Amino acid sequence: MSRAGFYDKVDNALGGIRDDGLWKGERVITSPQGGTVDVDGAGEVLNFCANNYLGLADHPDIINGASDAMNRSGYGMASVRFICGTTDQHRTLESEIADYVRTDDSILFAACFDANGGLFEPLLGEGDAIVSDSLNHASIIDGMRLCKASRYRFATRDIDDLRRQLVAARSHHADNILIATDGVFSMDGYIADLAAICRVADEFDALVMVDDCHATGLIGPEGRGTPSLHGVSDRVDILTSTLGKALGGAMGGFVAARQSVVDLLRQRSRPYLFSNSLSPGLVGGARVAIKLAIEGDSRRERLNDNATRFRRLMTDAGFQLSGHGHPIIPVHLGEAEIATEMAARLLDKGVYVTAFSFPVVPRGSARIRTQMNASHHSDDIDRAVAAFIDVGRDLDVIGP
Ligand SMILES: *Cc1c(COP(=O)(O)O)cnc(C)c1O
């Protein structure tokens, strides 16, 4: 194909995305992240689409922690970890993360996307098998693709199908078998049943890996995550998560596991070996965020109250929701155009939510994913529900 042909192909792809109503625009925010934000062109609006579950993204103690760390260690490390990019603070954060999620040690990455991308290839190879939930995050799917292990997929949260896939892996004489699951399925709002998964894992002597990005900081006692919620912290072999959601919402990811596993990742994981060390500011901020999360019972209580209230009022109003026991509450709408139109009209009414459509969710199952936040008050929830009802009636999503 000619160069001109290539650019025509790109233009056609863009046209197709627009024609299908799947275009993802980006609204511009001109305030700090919070329960309310200033959106360019829309003014101050209630924010129901951030992963800022504990409301820590603009917390002054975290900002001070970040700024103290930068004053001490500078802005950037200009190195990967093993050359000259490891400060005492990096090591301290790694052991604090490990204590928080109850493992031997942890290893930092630039993002959880990288943690998942660099996890599987050093640990598993030809002859091994990964049995993966069908709704697992894109980064797990990409990480598995970079590894030579055979892949088996089970229907999301379906323990019988998980067992069938484990039988299949065994019958193909898989050596090591690793079950991989999200702790929370972020498009649907469900928490994985890790107790059941670990029981089945025991039957097959399989390893268990959990991506807890939407749980760390908010789910389980002191926000220690879904393994703690289900009492299986000792049985889960590998936990990956992010510093970019409840824990202050900046960036950074990690793998937490047994010492030997973390040690091998430090030697072999490509996104760790070949990518820059986290900035000292991110490290200092994350250390304070973990402390606030441990002490965050009142934030988690407000978060849960908000989620319970929103779920109850929206169900009463006739909306079709999914999820359970988590502040992600998706409102199912079907066609992408309706979801996009609904989100636009809600913004006009001062409620900022985002429509999710293909390829983030399957075609024809577009939704508005709402996410509650500990900074919201009960009257914020009521205002949001009232706006949903107004717009929902106008668009015939719910009855009059
Ligand atoms: C957000 C998310 C990631 C990516 O985390 P980043 O740190 O933003 O790269 C990975 N897995 C899951 C389940 C997530 O929700």
**3-state secondary structure string, the chain?**
CCHHHHHHHHHHHHHHHHHCCCCCCCCCECCCCCCEEEECCCEEEEECCCCCCCCCCCCHHHHHHHHHHHHHHCCCCCCCHHHHCCCHHHHHHHHHHHHHHCCCEEEEECCHHHHHHCCHHHHCCCCCEEEEECCCCHHHHHHHHCCCCEEEEECCCCHHHHHHHHHHHHHCCCCCEEEEEECEECCCCEECCHHHHHHHHHHHCCEEEEECCCCCCCCCHHHCCHHHHCCCCCCCCEEEEECCCCCCCCCCEEEEECHHHHHHHHHHCHHHHCCCCCCHHHHHHHHHHHHHHHCCHHHHHHHHHHHHHHHHHHHHCCCCECCCCCCEEEEEEECHHHHHHHHHHHHHCCEECEEECCCCCCCCCEEEEEECCCCCCHHHHHHHHHHHHHHHHHCCCCCC
Render the burial of 162-182: b for 16+ CB within 10 Å, e for the rest. Answer: beebbeebeeeebebbbbbbb
Centre a 10 Å sphere on the Cβ of residue 222 and count the other Cβ atoms it contains.
14
241: CA distance to ligand 1 center in Å?
A: 7
Could you tell me if the CB of 376 is within 6 A of ligand 1? no
Centre a 10 Å sphere on the Cβ of residue 379 and count the other Cβ atoms it contains.
8
Residues with Cβ within 8 Å of 163's Cβ and at least 6 positions away in sequence, in order, are: 200, 203
- Whether residue 25 has pLDDT greater than 90: no
Q: What is the mean pLDDT of residues 358-375?
A: 94
pTM: 0.97
Amino acid identity, position 67: S
Q: 245 catalytic, yes or no?
A: yes
Q: What is the mean pLDDT of residues 344-350?
A: 97
- Atom index in ligand 1 nearest the CA of residue 140 equals 11
- Atom index in ligand 1 nearest the CA of residue 214 equals 15
Residue 359: band (very low, low, confident or very high) from pLDDT cuts 50, 70, 90: confident
191: CA distance to ligand 1 center in Å?
A: 15
pLDDT given at position 22? 81
Amino acid identity, position 228: S
Q: Which of 236-240, 324-328, 358-362, 366-370 has the lowest mean pLDDT?
A: 358-362
pLDDT digits (tens, 9 = 90+) for 305-331: 999 999 999 999 999 999 999 999 999
Q: 365 catalytic, yes or no?
A: no
Q: Which CATH number is associated with domain 60-294?
A: 3.40.640.10
Considering the candidates 73, 139, 150, 186, report the single residue annotated as catalytic: 186
pLDDT given at position 351? 98
Q: 298 catalytic, yes or no?
A: no
Mean pLDDT, the chain, integer: 97
pLDDT given at position 132? 98
- Burial classification of residue 264, based on how many CB atoms lie within 10 Å of its CB (0-12 exposed, 13-18 middle, 19 or more buried): middle
Given CA atoms 251, 256, 259, 264 in this order, what sign does their dihedral have? negative
Angle at the Cα of 390 (from 320 to 323), degrees rounded to 5? 20
- Whether residue 1 has pLDDT greater than 80: no
**179 closest CA partner among 218, 161, 189, 138:** 161
Considering the candidates 214, 230, 326, 376, report the single residue annotated as catalytic: 214
242: CA distance to ligand 1 center in Å?
A: 6
pLDDT digits (tens, 9 = 90+) for 135-175: 999 999 999 999 999 999 999 999 999 999 999 999 999 99
Percentage of the chain beyond pLDDT 70 is: 100
Do you find a cis peptide bond into 359, omega within 30 degrees of 0? yes
- Atom index in ligand 1 nearest the CA of residue 183 equals 13
Structure-block tokens of residue 364: 């024809």
pLDDT given at position 213? 98
Residue 24: band (very low, low, confident or very high) from pLDDT cuts 50, 70, 90: confident
Distance CA 315, CA 176 (A): 44
Q: Which CATH number is associated with domain 21-54+297-394?
A: 3.90.1150.10
Q: Where are the domains of the chain?
A: 21-54+297-394, 60-294
pLDDT given at position 49? 96
pLDDT given at position 44? 97
User: What is the spatial order of strands in the sheet that 354-356 belongs to?
Assistant: 328-334, 366-371, 354-356
pLDDT given at position 339? 95
Instruction: Please state the separation of Cα 309 from the chain's center in Å.
Output: 23
Considering the candidates 245, 269, 279, 375, report the single residue annotated as catalytic: 245
